[in-house]
C-alpha cells in the first residue's frame, strides 16, 4: 500500500484520480483549497478509511509523509485562472516548488499535471512534445501558460540537480462528470446552455479545433505513466487525437440533449488557439496508452451528470 498525495484532489480530474488510486488499494491524501474544487466531488469517498481530505493551499509548504505525489493543483479554465492571474502564477510556480521540495525530502516520485497550453497558439499541427510552442508571455492567458511552462522547468531542474523521480504530462482538453458547471470551458458551457434551452455561445466562427479526451481515459494515462521506469520522465502528451471544430461540438451537444437552443456568435477572445490536437505517439510507445471512449459516448455520460445537477437545483 502506497500513501499518495493528490493536490487539487477535489477538482474535476483530481477526484476521479483519487477514486482510481483508492480502488487500487492505496491510501490517498486529497489536498485542495476549494478555489475551483468542490467538496461534493469527494463526499462519497469520506467514509473510506484510506481517504483523507485536507484543506490547504499549495503556495504554502506542506509537511506530510507520502510515497508519491500527483500535483494537479491549479485553476485550469480561462474564467478561473484569469480571475486572479497573480495567484494563478503563484499556484503553478510556488506550488511546484513546494511539492518538489516535499518530494525531495521524502524521496517520493512526483507527477506534474502540465498542459497543452504550453504550446500556446501552435504553428505546428498536431503538437509533438518536441515543439517549443508559440506563447504570448504578456497576454491574458500568460498567467496559466507561462506558469505551467515555468513549473516544467522546475521539475526538470530538480531532476538534473537532485535526481528527483519526475513525470510530466501535458494534458489536452478533458471532459466528463464533475466538470465545474461555471468554469467557462466549451464542453460544460454548451451542455448547460443546451439543457437550459439557452443560446449556445460560439466564439469566432466556430472553425477553431479542439481534441476532447474523456476523464477516465486520461486518468488511465496518469496511472500508466507513474508506473513506468524512472528514466521515462516526459513530457508526454495525454489527450485524444480526434479533432473536432467547436461548431461540430455544439451541434453534437444540441443533438444529444434534444435541445432547441440556437447558436449565438461572439468575438474570439485574445490569444485563443486556432488549433489544438495532440501527437500521442510517445504515449502509445512508452505507456501503451491511447483513448478508448469516443466523443459521442463521453458526452452522453457528461450530459447525464449535468442533467442530474440541474434536477438537484445545484447552481449552474
Please, which residues bridge with residue 52 across strands?
A: 29
Residue 81 known to be catalytic: no
Q: What region does 235 belong to: left with phi over 0, alpha with psi -120 to 50, or beta?
A: beta
* DSSP secondary structure string for all residues of 101-138: HHHHHHT-EEEEEEEGGGGBS-SSSSBPTT---B--TT
Q: What CA–CA distance (Å, rounded) separates 69 from 72?
A: 9
Q: How far is CA 299 from CA 122, 176, 179, 189, 213, in A?
A: 26, 7, 12, 13, 10
**From 81, 144, 175, 214, active-site residue:** 144
Buried b (16+ CB within 10 A) or exposed e, 7-29: bbbbbbbbbbbbbbbbeeebbbb
Please, which residues bridge with residue 170 across strands?
A: 114, 237
Q: Give the relative orientation of helices 246-257 and 295-311 as an angle to the nearest 10 degrees.
A: 60
Task: Give the number of other Cβ atoms within 10 Å of residue 241's Cβ.
Answer: 18
State the cell numbers at 225: 505513466
Task: Give the number of other Cβ atoms within 10 Å of residue 220's Cβ.
Answer: 18
Q: Which residue in 243, 249, 140 sits closest to 202, CA to CA?
A: 249
CB within 8 A of 255, min separation 6: which ones?
Answer: none
Strands 209-211 and 243-245 turn out to be antiparallel
Question: What amino acid positions are annotated as catalytic residues?
Answer: 144
Amino acid at each position: 500500500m502506497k500513501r499518495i498525495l493528490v493536490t487539487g484532489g477535489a477538482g474535476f480530474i483530481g477526484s476521479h484520480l483519487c477514486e482510481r488510486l483508492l480502488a487500487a488499494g492505496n491510501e490517498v491524501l486529497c489536498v485542495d483549497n476549494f478555489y475551483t474544487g468542490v467538496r461534493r466531488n469527494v463526499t462519497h469517498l469520506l467514509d473510506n478509511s484510506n481517504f483523507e481530505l485536507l484543506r490547504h493551499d499549495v503556495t504554502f509548504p506542506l509537511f506530510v509523509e507520502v510515497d508519491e505525489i500527483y500535483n494537479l493543483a491549479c485553476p485550469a479554465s480561462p474564467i478561473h485562472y484569469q480571475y486572479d492571474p497573480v495567484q494563478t502564477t503563484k499556484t503553478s510556480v510556488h506550488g511546484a516548488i513546494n511539492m518538489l521540495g516535499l518530494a525531495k525530502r521524502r524521496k517520493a516520485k512526483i507527477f506534474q499535471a502540465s498542459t497543452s497550453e504550453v504550446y500556446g497558439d501552435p504553428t505546428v499541427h498536431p503538437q509533438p512534445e518536441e515543439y517549443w510552442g508559440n506563447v504570448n508571455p504578456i497576454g491574458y492567458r500568460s498567467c496559466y501558460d507561462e506558469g505551467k511552462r515555468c513549473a516544467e522547468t522546475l521539475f526538470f531542474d530538480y531532476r538534473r540537480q537532485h535526481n528527483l523521480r519526475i513525470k510530466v504530462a501535458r494534458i489536452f482538453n478533458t471532459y466528463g462528470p464533475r466538470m465545474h458547471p461555471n468554469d467557462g470551458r466549451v464542453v460544460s458551457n454548451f451542455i448547460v446552455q443546451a439543457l437550459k434551452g439557452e443560446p449556445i455561445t460560439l466564439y469566432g466562427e466556430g472553425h477553431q479545433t479542439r481534441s476532447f479526451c474523456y476523464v477516465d481515459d486520461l486518468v488511465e494515462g496518469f496511472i500508466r505513466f507513474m508506473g513506468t521506469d524512472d528514466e521515462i520522465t516526459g513530457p508526454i502528451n495525454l489527450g485524444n487525437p480526434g479533432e473536432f471544430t467547436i461548431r461540430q461540438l455544439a451541434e453534437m451537444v444540441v443533438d444529444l440533449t434534444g435541445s432547441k437552443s440556437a447558436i449565438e456568435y461572439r468575438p474570439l477572445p485574445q490569444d485563443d488557439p486556432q488549433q489544438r490536437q495532440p501527437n500521442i505517439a510517445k504515449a502509445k510507445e512508452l505507456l501503451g496508452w491511447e483513448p478508448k471512449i469516443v466523443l459521442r459516448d463521453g458526452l452522453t455520460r457528461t450530459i447525464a451528470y449535468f442533467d442530474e445537477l440541474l434536477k438537484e437545483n445545484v447552481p449552474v
